[in-house]
Structure 1
Amino acid sequence: MKLMSWNVRGLNKPRTVGRLRQKLREENPGLFFLTETKVKDSKMAGIRRKCGFFNGIDVSAVGRSGGLSMGWKNCCKVSLRSYSVRHIDVLIEDDSEGNQWRCTGFYGHPEEQHRGESWDLLRSLDDMPDTPWLVLGDFNEIVLSSEKQGGRDRPVRQMEGFSAALSDCGLDDLGFTGQWFTWEKGKFSNTNIRERLDRGVANGAWWELFPDYKVAHLQHSFSDHCPVLVNTSFGSSTHVRTWQFRFEAAWLLEDSCEPEVKKLWLSSSGDFLDRLLQVKQGFDRWFKDLRRKKTSTLTALKKKLEKLNEQIPSDEVLGEIVDTKLSMNLEMDKEELFWEQRARSNWLKHGDRNTSFFHRCASQRRRKSKVKFLESENGEVCSGEAEMLTVATNYFGSLFTSSVTGSCSRILEGVNSCISETMNLSLRREFTSEEIWDVVKSMNPLKAAGEDGLGALFIQRF
């Protein structure tokens, strides 16, 4: 099971909500915990559901600060134990293994003078010592001075207060992979501060239950905190899906798209339909190459950002970090446009940049459209492709075969004619190229692509 914790620093803007959805889709956690949502619980519940997490608990922000949310999927049974403006505590029963353990999402008080109240809260939650217990979130504190770079030194008493609370609860740090810091402030070397404020801690029973766990500090392109991902059983298989060719709207954002169209069209031969077919075949090859490059581009940008974050934060390095995050955002914008077309939805036009929603819509539509079996006229259920083809052909063949005999003239005698001869001639005349082009221009560019996969968008643009 994967769990993700993230201080998102506000979900009031559609773009930040879109980035959250994309990260959830990318990492696919079974449970997430968010801090500083800065929205009311009702709004956060809507955001959570649009992310595909229909189960959860949301805590409203107080004014313009705070706000918590924990959402989970149906991969496990979760029961709520308690919650406040600083924590959400649940009991998890893993459906696959039947293991029962606790997970507490924790948000340490952002003000130093109230930090002790957070540690008292943590101690009060330690009421099931024999149950495996994981606590993750933004503690707003460090344990060692080495977990801070830049700015004034952290008072020793503050670090000792945090360490004492963890020790009293029997919680040990889970470690991490990736960049060492989880929070950053300042875009110039003389003002840059980095700290490890977010982490996962667990008691001995949890360590024994999940000996193969892994904690990762993830790369991101917004928020001053990075997501923390806990994988209780590191190592999972991936499913590779093959796609039917269709011209994607996101390709128009590629610099090589228009030159590729011109090159393929000029190198094609034959009539219009033959040339379109050759363009499609060429685009199929171009798309496969683009998909490989796109995956490697985003991966390379993430690796580049990870290496930059490991370097001394000079002005040059910090400027390159900003440029890299902008490039990551551009690649993510392309993916959002890709999933909009897949879902045949117009929500992006209205400001709801919802990659995860579009992906879910496209996946649900694919599942709904798939025919798994058919029943023949004699009541026999068929699931084979050839058998279902025969059943469908016979059914529609008989459906559209007329069984009416005789003339309909007696019925038509009672119908008044409303089409004049002039109107009839106008209706029966050949379509003009102008009329055809008007229809093509009026089509929604992202709707049904047609058999060749090129669709209205391609014709309208090129």
Structure 2
Amino acid sequence: MIRSWNIRGLNGFSKQRAVRNWISNSSLGLIGLLETKVQQSYLQSVVSTVCPSWQFLSNVMDSIACRILVCWDPSLYFVDSLHFSLQEVTCRVTHVSKGFSFGITFVYGSNDLRNRRNLWDFLRDQAAEFDSEGLPWLVLGDFNAILGASDRMGGDLTWYGYVDDFGHCIHDTELIGFPFTGLRYTWHNSQQGDGIILWKLDWVFASLSWFIDRPTTVSEFQPRDVSDHSSMVVRFGSRRGKVRSPFKFLNFWVDRANFMDIVQTVWDEPIVGNPMFRLTQKLGLLKRKLKSLHVRDSSHISSRVIEARAQWATAQANLDRDPLSTECISQERNLANRYFSLCRDEEAFFKQRSRVQWLNLGD
């Protein structure tokens, strides 16, 4: 389990106690604290108070207080710093007992849009590096940015051109937003009435390889406490177990009269999230619908053909005995049509499979 929180200052007793309770109550092993405002000379003392015996690294500099503080339990994780700047700390993390590794970037985006563009460029470069290594990548924190108009309420609602920069970055890096529970708007300006402003500034994303390795990972945005930001928690879930047979799209499904109705019904499903998340969720729903269609109509196609041929033969014999029966006439034609339809499906299936085999074997 991993957590990140824009704590808005970690020098006071109440903030330190809140983080200490936060760690002990949730059995955490790795955390990222944002906007700590702790000077370099006090970092060791603060970490010793908040999480004794833990190790840490930060992006603190001589003239700038710590903006991002990363702490971890060395009995659970080995953390290797890869890069840090004013807006991010990026590490390679290895689980000590289970041995799996992943990349992680804790983000605290600048309030200045020009500086944030530096962050977007870095994330693009980092995505390419982790992708070349095949290393799953987790990105979380306070981005000081929104993806869509629905991510804010109150204040200036004008959609300026630079607001699109964040969405373009997520698109370019091919990061996917986690399913989440808890608060949608993660920042509150502590006002009321007409002055209230709510924004979703805190996000959790991961690379596709992360979801392939740990498809059940979820995130939660918890109620605000001593900060005006919600804290976020990432629960890994179990790693992928036995690999199931890959999903195969059968071309002849398109010829089904209800195929487009199935697709349209799935695409009309209301799903909340960024565009990439909505797309992947709808593709997953469509896959399940098509699997159900397959089980019902086209699985074990050759066996279905043999069975349909036997049923048609029986219907022909019944019609031969009673050629004036409207029921026998109708049944014989219906079973004949079903048999020929299944024959076409079988032929299409084996043609498709032979093309796949030809591609695999280079015959």
What TM-score comes out, normalization by structure 2 length?
0.61
Residue aligning to 1:111: 112
Worse-superposed segment, 157-166 or 142-151? 157-166
Question: Once the two structures are superposed, what CA deviation does each residue of 1:225-267 show, in whole Å capped at 9, x if it has no partner?
Answer: 0100001127xxxxxxxxxxxxxxxxxxxxxxxxxxxxxxxxx
- Say which SS state the counterpart of residue 81 (structure 1) adopts: strand
Question: Once the two structures are superposed, what CA deviation does each residue of 1:104-133 show, in whole Å capped at 9, x if it has no partner?
Answer: 111111123432122112223221212100
1:94 aligns with 2:98: no
Residue aligning to 2:79: 78
Q: How do 1:85-234 and structure 2 match up within 5 A? A: 85-126=86-127, 127-129=129-131, 130-233=134-237
1:44 aligns with 2:43: yes
CA gap 1:192/1:41 in 2 versus in 1, 3 angstroms: same
Shift of 1:49: 2.7
- Report the AA paired with residue 6 of structure 1: W
Q: How do 1:7-406 and structure 2 match up within 5 A? A: 7-50=6-49, 51-52=51-52, 54-60=54-60, 67-73=67-73, 74-126=75-127, 127-129=129-131, 130-233=134-237
Over the matched positions of the two proteins, sequence identity in percent amounts to 26
- Say which SS state the counterpart of residue 177 (structure 1) adopts: strand
Distance 2:64 2:137 in 1: 31
Shift of 1:63: 6.4
Quick check: 1:9–1:223 contact (8 Å CA) kept in 2? Answer: yes
Distance 1:77 1:150 in 2: 43
Question: Once the two structures are superposed, what CA deviation does each residue of 1:42-71 show, in whole Å capped at 9, x if it has no partner?
Answer: 322322232235212023278687621001
- Report the structure, 1 or 2, having the larger strand content: 2
RMSD of Structure 2 on Structure 1 (CA): 2.1
Quick check: 2:40–2:62 contact (8 Å CA) kept in 1? Answer: no
- Report the AA paired with residue 7 of structure 1: N
- Report the AA paired with residue 108 of structure 1: G
Distance 1:53 1:231 in 2: 23
Quick check: 2:39–2:66 contact (8 Å CA) kept in 1? Answer: no
Quick check: 1:61–1:68 contact (8 Å CA) kept in 2? Answer: no
Quick check: 1:41–1:59 contact (8 Å CA) kept in 2? Answer: no
- Say which SS state the counterpart of residue 124 (structure 1) adopts: helix
- Say which SS state the counterpart of residue 77 (structure 1) adopts: strand
Quick check: 1:40–1:67 contact (8 Å CA) kept in 2? Answer: no
Question: Once the two structures are superposed, what CA deviation does each residue of 1:113-170 show, in whole Å capped at 9, x if it has no partner?
Answer: 4321221122232212121000011100010110101111153523321011112112
- Report the AA paired with residue 196 of structure 1: K
Question: Once the two structures are superposed, what CA deviation does each residue of 1:61-115 show, in whole Å capped at 9, x if it has no partner?
Answer: 7868762100111212221111122111111122343211111111111123432
Distance 1:232 1:189 in 2: 39
Worse-superposed segment, 137-146 or 151-160? 151-160
- Say which SS state the counterpart of residue 152 (structure 1) adopts: coil
CA gap 1:27/1:220 in 2 versus in 1, 3 angstroms: farther
- Report the AA paired with residue 41 of structure 2: S
Distance 1:155 1:45 in 2: 43
Gaps of at least 5 residues in structure 2 are: 239-363
- Say which SS state the counterpart of residue 191 (structure 2) adopts: coil
Distance 2:41 2:158 in 1: 37
CA gap 1:204/1:53 in 2 versus in 1, 3 angstroms: farther
Distance 2:57 2:41 in 1: 10
Quick check: 1:132–1:203 contact (8 Å CA) kept in 2? Answer: yes
Residue aligning to 1:348: none
Quick check: 1:45–1:58 contact (8 Å CA) kept in 2? Answer: no
- Say which SS state the counterpart of residue 181 (structure 1) adopts: coil
Gaps of at least 5 residues in structure 1 are: 235-462
CA gap 1:209/1:49 in 2 versus in 1, 3 angstroms: farther
- Report the AA paired with residue 88 of structure 1: V
Moved over 6 A (4+): 61-65
What number of residue pairs does the alignment pair up?
234
CA gap 1:103/1:111 in 2 versus in 1, 3 angstroms: same
Distance 1:168 1:213 in 2: 22
Distance 2:166 2:99 in 1: 33
- Report the AA paired with residue 186 of structure 1: S
- Report the AA paired with residue 202 of structure 1: A
What TM-score comes out, normalization by structure 1 length?
0.48
Quick check: 2:175–2:207 contact (8 Å CA) kept in 1? Answer: yes
- Report the AA paired with residue 128 of structure 1: F
Distance 1:133 1:223 in 2: 27
- Report the AA paired with residue 161 of structure 1: D
Quick check: 1:149–1:194 contact (8 Å CA) kept in 2? Answer: yes
- Report the AA paired with residue 198 of structure 1: D
